[in-house]
Structure 1
Amino acid sequence: MNSIMSLQWLRRSGKFLAGAVLTLTAFGIWVVPTYSTPVGELIAKKMMELEASQERWIQIDLKNQRLIAWEGGTQVYAIVISTGKGSTPTRPGIFNIQTKLAKSRMRGADYDVPNVPYVMFYEGNYAIHGAFWHRRFGTPVSHGCVNVAVNHARWLFDWASVGTPVVIND
Structure 2
Amino acid sequence: MRSILQAICIIIFLFACSSSVYAGEIITDQKLITVDLGKQMLYAWEKGQVVHQTKVSTGLPKTPTVKGSFAVKWKVPSQTMRGGSKAYGTYEYKNVPHVMYFYQGYAIHGAYWHNRFGRPNSHGCVNVPLTSAEWLYNWAQKGTRVEVF
TM range (shorter): 0.7 to 0.9
Q: Which residue of 2 aligns with 1:54?
A: 29
1:164 maps to amino acid? T
Q: Which residue of 1 aligns with 2:72?
A: 97
**Aligned mates of 2:119, 2:27 — CA distance in 1:** 31
Please state how far the C-alpha of 1:72 moved relative to its aligned partner. 2.9
1:114 aligns with 2:94: yes
SS of the equivalent of 2:138 reads helix
**Aligned mates of 1:131, 1:52 — CA distance in 2:** 30
1:123 aligns with 2:99: no
Once the two structures are superposed, what CA deviation does each residue of 1:79-138 show, in whole Å capped at 9, x if it has no partner? 100000011001110000001010011111311111100000001110000000000001
1:165 maps to amino acid? R
- Alignment TM-score, normalising by the size of structure 2: 0.80
Q: Which residue of 1 aligns with 2:135?
A: 155
**Structure of higher CA gyration radius:** 2
2:128 maps to amino acid? V
**Aligned mates of 2:21, 2:95 — CA distance in 1:** 35
SS of the equivalent of 1:90 reads coil
Q: Which has the higher contact order (CA 8 A, sep 6+)?
A: 2
Q: Residues 85, 75 of structure 1: CA spacing in aligned structure 2 closer, same or farther, 3 A cutoff?
A: same
> Taking every aligned residue pair, what percent have the same amino acid on both sides?
44
**Aligned mates of 1:152, 1:75 — CA distance in 2:** 14
1:108 maps to amino acid? G
Matches within 5 A, 1:8-157: 48-49=24-25, 51-109=26-84, 110-157=90-137
Structure 2, unaligned runs of 5 or more: 1-17, 85-89
**Aligned mates of 2:28, 2:58 — CA distance in 1:** 27
Please state how far the C-alpha of 1:48 moved relative to its aligned partner. 2.5
- Alignment TM-score, normalising by the size of structure 1: 0.70
